[in-house]
A and B are shown apart, each in its own frame.
Chain A
Amino acid sequence: MTLSKHSAANDYRHHVRVIPEDTKDAAIANGFLQHPNLDLRAIQILPPAGGWEHARDLFLSDHVKGMRNKPLRYTLLLIDFDNNLDRFQQISDLIPKDIADRVFIIGPLDEPEGLPPELGKPEQIGSRLAEECYSGSRTLWNHDHFKHNEAELNRMAASLRPFLFR
């Protein structure tokens, strides 16, 4: 095996690519990156897709083949549910079965703009969510705006948590 000189989130190690729906979701992801124990080599935030449908379509058109070729790659679609939890099924029904266990769909119930101000700004929210992923606590994750992610969070804890944090 030959390693590239500079290892990006690459083919030879577990890594997750995050497709944020928009800039607000990207800001939550940026906050997540600030966690001191996060392995920055194991995560890559891609440019905002410009809407949940674009995130879905982008994943299906550009990422499925790559995931099949790179078995250590995971993808997380970070979307707004816009108070419509059926959206989860609408997306997950389209994910090819052979990679479905490596794809996650999470996000706030409402648009980040609709989140209560007491939760903080998007990066602060992302930082708190990262800390809870690291520590295993579920205070913010159990908030009305995030608790619908529980099943996905449990899957993530099993498959992403071991390599995401040092």
Chain B
Amino acid sequence: MIYVLAFMVLLLTAVMIMFFAMLGELYSRVGPAPAATGPLQEAKVGQRPQAWPRELAPLATATDAVLLVLSTSCASCVQVAGQLRDRFEPMTGYVTGVVLSTADPDRAEAFVREHGLPRDSVYVDVEGAWVTTEFGVLTSPSALILRDGQLSSALVFTDVAALQSAVAPAT
């Protein structure tokens, strides 16, 4: 009896794997589900920072800029950082900078190295102090869209392609 039950389990497992393989094939053809983007409610739209870190100084004077807020402890941020490896400035016409929130600066340095991010454009923000104070942002990954150094809109996102779709090219 146990032998028959075990065989049934094995059979069900085999069928389940077959369905997984079919679903996997479909997934690879259709692509992943569209990643969610949405407005970042807590961001202080219209805010202009009192002071900019050296790494983010170019964003203060750029006509169009995007500040990506990542964290060393968020799984989606790892995915986004991986996508930035190939193209650090994902949006045409936008000067790009990264705020990397962390509790441990050493871990942030390792994060930057691991994902091949340009160190001179990444500000390591210990416990998110700067980005929270200046923009009221508490969420990562998120993208802060700046115009002439002033926050014009903010989005939460999990995929760079979705961010590119959500933000119109700079003119």
Asked if A and B bind, the verdict is: no
Chain B residues in the interface with A (C-beta under 8 A) = none
